[in-house]
Amino acid sequence: RFSNPIQLPLAGKKVVVTAGPTRERIDPVRYISNFSSGKMGYAMAEAATKLGASTVLISGPVELPKPEGVRLVKVESAAQMLEAVLAEYDDASIVVKSAAVADYKPKEAQTQKMKKKDGDSSIELERTTDILKTLGAHKNSQILVGFAAETNDAIGYGKSKLESKNLDYIIVNDVTDPGGGFGSDTNVVTLLTRAGKSYPFEAMLKSELANVLLEKIIQEERATVD
Ligand code: CTP
Ligand code: CA
């Protein structure tokens, strides 16, 4: 009597996506950051939702509208992003770390605007926590997907990040490729799997690519379960 509803592949699954840059405050008017636009991460969140997932998008400061149907959690620093991701981690099926997390932060954030002084030449920095590595070290059944934006030997660096962070997949791209990179609406990537497979993709709109990447990951997961 009822038509069989077509089950979307991520129905009933929680997908957590991080996107955008982080900002590490130097003082009330200055920060350290990077050129991430957040477009790839927002596209991943939108694609996951269309595939039926209940999606949480944890985003650094970007100029993008909230994708429809997504729960948006806005953060600023790497420390805030870590906290927000950990709060969503336990019941997540897939975590996609598209964010370009700042690797360093000022050792001390000044509460007053710093004044320039003759002879001043440096700010003391320290490393931020590697969020993805932390997730990889505490993985239960989550599928962990990382990104690696490189300027050279993208595949080589991608493979070593996949291993060192205990990931299931990593999406690598060469940011110097004319078909993609920061700010661009298109991207050229290769998907590397934990099992050692490598899937290169043609230049595509980030929105289209996000869907293709998730579909590929779903297909790979089915293949390993069956
Ligand atoms: N990442 C993270 N936390 C950090 C740094 C990176 O979670 N503090 C994640 C990114 O979100 C991305 C992956 O790790 O999914 C790879 O980031 P990338 O900057 O390419 O690698 P790093 O390990 O930071 O190494 P490097 O920048 O030196 O190449
Ligand atoms: Ca980095």
Cβ of 158 closer than 6 Å to ligand 1, yes or no, is: no
- Ligand 1 atom nearest residue 145's Cα: 15
Which residue is associated with the tokens 């991207």? Answer: 187
Mean pLDDT computed over every residue of the chain: 94
Ligand that comes closest to the CA of residue 147? 1
Average pLDDT over residues 3-21: 89
Least confident of 22-36, 55-69, 107-121: 107-121
- Ligand 1 atom nearest residue 164's Cα: 23
Residues 6 or more apart whose Cβ sits within 8 Å of residue 132: 97, 144, 146, 165, 167
Does residue 172 contact residue 146 with C-beta atoms inside 8 Å? no
Q: Whose CA is nearest to atom 8 of ligand 1?
A: 130
Q: Taking each helix axis as running N to C, give the angle between helix 39-50 and helix 206-225, from 0 to 180 degrees, rounded to the nearest 10.
A: 50
SS3 state of residue 26 = strand
Average pLDDT over residues 60-88: 98
Least confident of 76-85, 93-102, 119-128: 119-128
Cα(165) to ligand 1 centroid in Å equals 9
Per-residue pLDDT at 4: 58
Active site residue 34: yes
Per-residue pLDDT at 30: 97
Cα(150) to ligand 2 centroid in Å equals 10
pLDDT tier for residue 5 given thresholds of 50, 70 and 90 = low
Average pLDDT over residues 208-224: 95
Per-residue pLDDT at 112: 96
Cβ of 148 closer than 6 Å to ligand 1, yes or no, is: yes
Write the pLDDT tens digit of every residue in 117-171: 998 889 999 999 999 999 999 999 999 999 999 999 999 999 999 999 999 999 9
Amino acid at residue number 145 = V
Element at 73 (helix H, strand E):
strand 71-74
Average pLDDT over residues 22-44: 96
Q: Whose CA is nearest to atom 12 of ligand 1?
A: 147
Cβ of 101 closer than 6 Å to ligand 1, yes or no, is: yes
Ligand 1 pocket, mutate which of 22, 97, 169 (most atoms under 8 A from CB): 97
Ion ligand 2 residues within 5 Å by Cβ: 103
Per-residue pLDDT at 91: 97
Per-residue pLDDT at 3: 58
DSSP H stretches of helix in the chain: 39-50, 78-89, 131-137, 154-164, 206-225
How far apart are the C-alpha atoms of 102 and 13, rounded to whole Å? 29
The answer to whether the annotation marks 161 as part of a ligand binding site is yes
Average pLDDT over residues 71-95: 98
Cβ of 95 closer than 6 Å to ligand 1, yes or no, is: no
Cα(130) to ligand 2 centroid in Å equals 9
Average pLDDT over residues 106-117: 94
Average pLDDT over residues 164-180: 91
Per-residue pLDDT at 181: 72
Least confident of 4-13, 73-82, 126-135: 4-13
Amino acid at residue number 211 = N
